[in-house]
Structure 1
Amino acid sequence: MKKILILRFSAMGDVALLVPVVKSLTAAYPDVEVTVVTRPKFGPMFFDIERVTVFPADVDYTYTGIFGLRDLFRKLMRKGPYDLVMDLHDHIRTKILRSLFKLFGSRVVVFEKGRAEKKAFSRKENKITTPLPHTVERYYKAFEKAGYPFKMLEAPYLSLSESIQSASGWFGYKKSMEVTKWIGIAPFAMHKSKIWPLENYPLLIESILQKTPAKFFLFGGGEKEVKFFESLKQKFPKNCEVIAGQLKLRQEIALMQHLDLMLCVDSSNMHLAALSGTPLLSIWGGTHPDVGFGPYNYTYETNIVQISREELSCRPCSVYGREKCFRGDFACLNRITPEMVSERVLQRFQ
């Protein structure tokens, strides 16, 4: 068996986008074993992939600083040796680790992050807006460079065992509600420039319910997010279920696979839904899918709601999101109305 070590600590969406690549790699090479080194909370995404193990590395507490990384390296070496070390993060932590692996004779390949072209795409003036390679493609190219070309598998990539799919208890309930559309709502992201104004959601839900029976499942996490979801449930007690804080990651993914549609923003929940093969509609503001982080293998014209660059040439103002707006009014988000989104949602059910 050949042993490959992959380094990728964050963010959640970037780690999720590793899944189709790792799954396709092991399917193409039955003589390969893969160890993914990532934050513990992201590990469950890889649990169902054959010949893939996760090394949970808590780089925020257990393996902090130079000495923490040294300890992490020693533990990884004891599980080696590795035929190949893939740095698919290219961050200060992984730069230190890959240097240590090189020093001890391991072959190391680093993926092309495309920092300069992403910066040119998102800068304030004189943008260069040629669509950039998707992050999944960048990961794949790194393996191709390492001598492991393969054909990408078809979705779904996050395929969970049947026991996990039935664990949350929601699915028997759905069978008695076949005429009711199941719509996931994931309205939150790390940065303000990605978040569609929250006051739009009650209007959106009301508009959808006027046209079709629907059950809304509210995805997220954190005290503020749960508080907002509880306010929606109070307004629509028979139509909203708060998932945030109720299910573990794999159960959330299992629930996503039963949705008729996931309504989301540019976030990790968007990537999880896309990798699950779930129909989705994603609202984009300060970021742009052409930078390389759109829902993988989805048609942007059908699955993205955004104000065009012809109307707002300032888009995108950032690769990953930001807290301030070049214009000062977040027009990229505020010009998207509940009526526009409702119409796009209902079109998906026709």
Structure 2
Amino acid sequence: MHPSKGEHILVIRLSALGDVAMLVPVLRVVTATYPQLKITLLTRAFFAPIFKDNPNISIYEADINGVHSGVFGLSRLAKDLRDLEIDAVADMHDVLRSNVLKSIFYFYGIPVKQIDKGRSEKKALTAANNKVFIQLKATHQRYADVFNELGYPIDLRLHKFPEKQKISPNTREITGTDPLKWIGVAPFAQHNSKVYPLDLMDKVLAQLNSAGKIQIFLFGGGKKEAAMLEELAAKYDRVKSLAGKLKFDEELALISNLDAMLSMDSGNAHLAAMYGVPVVTLWGVTHPYTGFKPFEQPLENCILPDLNKYPQIPTSIYGNKVPDGYEDVMRTISPDTVVVKINSVLNIT
């Protein structure tokens, strides 16, 4: 590729929330380094607000459960994307759907470079026996490597965070105007093995609330989670649940204004990190060595279970494999440890 010509690159990342959010800082550096480069991002419509602060990115909505489902739907999608006059494809997903698209693009003569997910080294890191316990390459860098293969090398150290987003009047009615530190708490994750037990989270909220210096916002989605968050929030005067009360773009704006985020190894950690918000993460059977530590967050902000007691951690990359006896690993993380770390991040004594 020749950057001076102003090529059009298609970037593919269909899911999941955290993986899509990790693309944000990478694409910021790409567009800042190569301002003449046109980028179209193929992703789900729901994720579009994540990229709204980057005017150099156009979103092409993938309707993978509708018109773009199946081989015929993907063939139609590939043809429509080809008609956008794309010059090359950066596949940041490497799943069945993107591989079908890859085959069709090759037929059209459009080059495709794919992410190297490091499957073999991740298998070694999560092995029960003969584990190779080393820090693996960050997913952000794996994304950057794809652009390097396309002829657009970037240096992620040049990344610059955007300004805080403006909070909507609707959001302001919820947040209030008290001069307190704002912290987000996202207590859920896709797999239970990555969720801090709610009775312990309740103790964390109790301590943070009692200090009288912090306004706490609870993040979550779905009816079941919303009901649980409302029950938690009702106990405390400085804890508010946001579940079901804000649009996604309003949530993002609020996250950009937080002083800190407490999250599991989940999407909300990466949403906060893409705005430069300090993130404290709680890890269960996964581990930051897998390459999913939030962007530019220090390792000391990753609070881990007792690895001496549970030496097989990480047992999986995504938290979907839990060996017998590892169901309660997060109970070795004390609420006091979490509160001390949050107060340290917020500079509260």
TM-score (norm 1): 0.92
AA aligned opposite 1:264: S
Looking at structure 2, the residues matched to 34 and 130 of structure 1 have their Cα atoms a distance apart, in angstroms, of: 34
Q: Quote the offset at 1:266 in angstroms.
A: 0.4
Q: 2:234 aligns to what SS in structure 1?
A: helix
Residue aligned with 2:193, SS: helix
Contact between 1:47 and 1:53, CA under 8 Å: does it hold in 2?
no
Q: Does 1:83 align with 2:87?
A: yes
1:35 aligns with 2:40: yes
Letter of the 2:93 counterpart: H
Q: Secondary structure at the match of 1:79?
A: coil
Show the counterpart of 2:122: 118
Paired residues of 1:184 and 1:217 also in contact (CA < 8 A) = yes
Tell me what 2:7 maps to: 2
Q: Does 1:49 align with 2:67?
A: no
Q: Determine if contact 2:171/2:246 at 8 Å carries over to the other structure.
A: no
CA distance in 1, matches of 2:341, 2:11: 39
Contact 1:257 1:273 in 2 (8 A): yes
Find the partner of 1:346 among 322, 327, 343: 343
Give the Å deviation of 1:173. Answer: 8.0
Aligned to 2:83, what secondary structure does the other structure show?
helix
1:124–1:326 CA contact under 8 A, matched in 2: no
Tell me the amino acid that sits aligned with residue 307 of structure 2: R
- Distance in 2 (CA, whole Å) between partners of 1:230 and 1:30 is 45
Q: Give the match for residue 267 of structure 2.
A: 268
Task: Return 5+ residue gaps in structure 2 as ranges.
Answer: 1-5
Say whether residues 1:332 and 2:332 are aligned partners.
no
**Distance of 1:90 and 1:170 partners within structure 2:** 37
- Distance in structure 1 (CA, Å) of the matches to 2:200 and 2:140: 32
TM-score by length of 2: 0.92
SS in structure 2 at match of 1:106:
coil
Following TM superposition, by how much is the alpha carbon of 1:329 offset from its aligned partner in structure 2, in angstroms?
A: 4.3
Cα distance, 1:175 vs structure 2: 8.1
Q: Distance in 2 between matches of 1:175 and 1:219?
A: 17
The 1:329–1:142 alpha-carbon spacing in structure 2 relative to 1, beyond 3 Å, is: closer
Moved more, 127-136 or 306-315: 306-315
The match for 1:14 is 19
* Aligned-partner Cα distance in 2 for 1:245–1:62: 28
Q: Counterpart of 2:3? A: none
Count of matched residue positions in the alignment of Structure 1 and Structure 2: 341
Structure 2 CA distance, aligned partners of 1:259 and 1:19? 18
**What are the superposed Cα offsets for residues 122-170 of structure 1, whole Å, 9 maximum, x if unpaired?**
122211111100000001111112110123233425x56x5xx222544
CA distance in 1, matches of 2:228, 2:23: 31
Q: How far is the alpha carbon of 1:288 from its aligned partner?
A: 0.5
1:101-133 alpha-carbon deviations (Å, 9 max, x no partner): 111111111121111111111122211111100
Q: 1:186, 1:263 within 8 Å by CA — same for their partners in 2?
A: yes
